[in-house]
Amino acid sequence: MKKLISYVTLSMLVAMLLVACTPKNETSKEKEETVQEGKITTREDANSNYLSAVDVDYAYNFTKSLEEFKTNEKLGYRTAGSEAELKTGEKIGEEMKKIGLTEVTKDEFTLDTWTFEKADLTFTDAEGKEYLAVLGGYQTNFDTDGEKEFEIIYAGKGTEADLEGVDVEGKLVLVDINQREEWWINYPAYQAHLKGAAAVIAVQEAGYSEVDPDALNAQDIIGPADAPAFSMSQTDANSLKEALKATEDSTMTVKFDAKSTVEFDGKTYNYYGKIIGKDPDSYIILSAHYDSYFTGFQDDHAAIGLMMGVAKGLIDSGYKPEKTIIFNALAAEEWGVSDTRYDWSTGAYNQIFNVHPEWVGKAFANMNFELPAYEHTTQDEIRSVYELNNYLTQFAEKVPTVEGVYKDGISVVSPLRTWSDDFSFAIAGVPALRNDFQDSDFMRSHYHSQFDNEDTYNEDALKFHLNLYGLLAMHYDETAVVPLDFTTRLKALKDDVNAEVFEKAEVSSEELVTEIDRVIATAEEVNARVAKVNEDYLAALTKGDSDTAKKLYEESRDLNSGLLAAFKYAEDQFVRLTWEDEPIFPHKHAQNNLDNLTLSIDALNEGDISSALDEYLWAIDNNWYAYDFDKEVFDYFTDYVLEAPKEKLMWGNGRIVGHEDLFDTINSLQEKSEQANADVTAELEKLNGALERQKELLKTTVADETASVKELGSMLTELK
């Protein structure tokens, strides 16, 4: 099953690594020599030794071994702070020592824990037979203390309208959901909770778990622990719905045996080990998370297998790094804090913000891994912060192919998204990247279901990523200063200015654009200096001239520190989030709202209520949820973003620019949408008020952005 590496491409890799540092009057051999383990080894040998030593079978076998511990005997689950997660972490720590990593460390942090043991629902089907449905769980509290009888009803999508006039007190409420196209599980769960329901049982009708009608789904709850929710397959739900139809009042009694436990302020652990380099305090960090839903083969055990495979490959090849390479297994990525919008990436956030904030300013990069043993598309994607895009694009051309996967090569895309641990590292100030997966059909089909198992394994994809990220770690190791190019972010900021919206809002973008252009020119001068330093450093390493390499490295520490400080400043000033967790530039919040408010006002002035509702108003902040859920639900999930303490918001803290509450306006327009010649004067007044507020917000955010661009320019000027 193994495929051979393309040796033509490998030769190209070596040639490209050497071309920038080999004068025509000297042979490659004379220029390549370095000292490793007391013998002369060429740079070509360092790469080929790794490619020969890295072992895809080891990576796969360790991936499979992580299935050993589980909280739910039928379904799996290794969740935040559970006994299964704790034991799995210990296993990884021991393996780190076994393969030769040093200073293996167990880092404790505080979080909310979740243990999901069981959720078995038994009912009599339409044919009179006993039917057992095994359910998945969400991070909520629900303990029947053994089998217990409940009434169950079907309530459509569980919206305010679906529950209107329905008695759900103490009952189980079966609902359909599409978490990709409609809303997250917290909304119907909390709506039913307010009506007194015992729990919601959600069936994914589309969006996730589309691989099979038997598929269950699991996601983070982003809601309170006392609004219980469970997951049921389409197959089981169809049988249950048929049985309910056969009853006189569309309700029936079922038996439910469930135990799901959330405990607050618990403990879990991140683990890391090192390959210590000549500079023990300069880091390249590789990471992956080890908690999982169900079996979690791709998400994220294969990523742990990849990380450990790279570590073992580097050690077994005899590689002696210049910098210290850290391999970090992170807990509680899927969930870790109750009752917050930002309840995932808990382990990574704690690791870099609370446990090891001293890594910031010392770490060249974080390479984070997710779902790496599957060919998501024919072109492999690396998703990175803006500043690494050009560096990674150039490197991608040098990665050897593996026959059978990624026939269209590698693309690099920016910016990072929030769905994985790299985002926490990046906003802390560590330039980060990951193997991308979010645009794959896998997200709709297998992701967070029990079908994410070894049947999805693609050996060639895992082999490709072992090669790619091992070589990338070594490539980073050959740089004296972090290869950050600020022109990419600045150009993206400039491109994101919608001149038409600015003009309508009577806000000038001239000063911002002028400053961006000025700082781009400065950044290009910095790029030239960085390239020269790194080129000279690589040439010295390639010659085996350790004295020159050491001198260049020591002389460039201020430049390196300045680049990382500028990067952290850029992340602090220019990364904000939408209400749907998409990274945006600060002005984009008001810019988006102004566009949609203007169009909705125009539609209403033309008597077109439907277009205002269907095309524009829903896209303003989180007002989508005003259409289907009541005011108490809407306010709850608005306020817990705007008013929560920092420790609850974690990586989302300070990233939301503002909020326009259009709940009453939207509901009023919904009531009038069927009326002929409806009077919408009051609604227009509300929307025009919102329009003026957003104009002011655009002015202030653009002024702040302009000042931030100037300050970034000052920081970069000092580095020229």
Pairing state between β 172-177 and 148-154: parallel
* Each residue's pLDDT tens digit, 533-545: 999 999 999 999 9
Q: Percentage of residues in the chain with pLDDT exceeding 70?
A: 94
Query: Own/partner pairs for 162-170, CB < 8 Å, 24+ apart?
Result: 163/191, 163/192, 163/195, 166/195, 168/192, 168/195, 168/196, 168/197, 169/195, 169/196, 169/197, 170/196, 170/197, 170/198
pTM of the prediction?
A: 0.93
Position 248 scores a pLDDT of 86
**Mean local confidence (pLDDT), 349-362:** 98
Residue pair 188/157 in contact by the 8 Å Cβ criterion: yes
Name the H helices within 202-345.
234-245, 302-316
The enclosing H or E element of 445 equals helix 442-445
Position 41 scores a pLDDT of 54
Tell me how far apart the alpha carbons of residues 136 and 118 are, in angstroms, rounded to a whole number.
8
With a cut of 60, say whether residue 17 has pLDDT above it. Answer: no
> How sure is the predictor about 585, in pLDDT bands with cuts at 50, 70 and 90?
very high
Give the list of residues 6+ apart from residue 418 with CB closer than 8 angstroms, or none: 345, 577, 581, 582, 583, 651
In whole angstroms, how large is the CA radius of gyration of the chain? Answer: 27
């960085």: which residue's tokens? 530
* Each residue's pLDDT tens digit, 405-449: 999 999 999 999 999 999 999 999 999 999 998 889 999 999 999
Residue pair 112/336 in contact by the 8 Å Cβ criterion: yes
- Compute CA distances 101 → 97, 134, 311, 313, 528, whole Å: 5, 41, 8, 11, 36
């009179």: which residue's tokens? 128
DSSP 8-class letter at 357: G
The enclosing H or E element of 543 equals helix 510-543
Position 3 scores a pLDDT of 32
Tell me how far apart the alpha carbons of residues 623 and 318 are, in angstroms, rounded to a whole number.
57
Supply the angle between the helices 7-19 and 43-53 in degrees, to the nearest 10. 150
* Each residue's pLDDT tens digit, 365-411: 999 999 999 999 999 999 999 999 999 999 999 899 999 999 999 99
DSSP-derived 3-state class of residue 257: strand
E runs forming strands in 621-669? none
DSSP 8-class letter at 351: I
> How sure is the predictor about 5, in pLDDT bands with cuts at 50, 70 and 90?
very low
> How sure is the predictor about 42, in pLDDT bands with cuts at 50, 70 and 90?
low
Closest CA to 590 of 635, 623, 624, 621: 621
**Mean local confidence (pLDDT), 346-354:** 98
DSSP-derived 3-state class of residue 489: helix
Residue pair 581/418 in contact by the 8 Å Cβ criterion: yes
With a cut of 80, say whether residue 19 has pLDDT above it. Answer: no
* Each residue's pLDDT tens digit, 267-305: 999 999 999 999 999 999 999 999 999 999 999 999 999
Q: What is the mean pLDDT of the chain?
A: 93
Position 32 scores a pLDDT of 39
- Compute CA distances 439 → 293, 334, 383, 573, whole Å: 20, 19, 11, 27
With a cut of 60, say whether residue 47 has pLDDT above it. Answer: yes
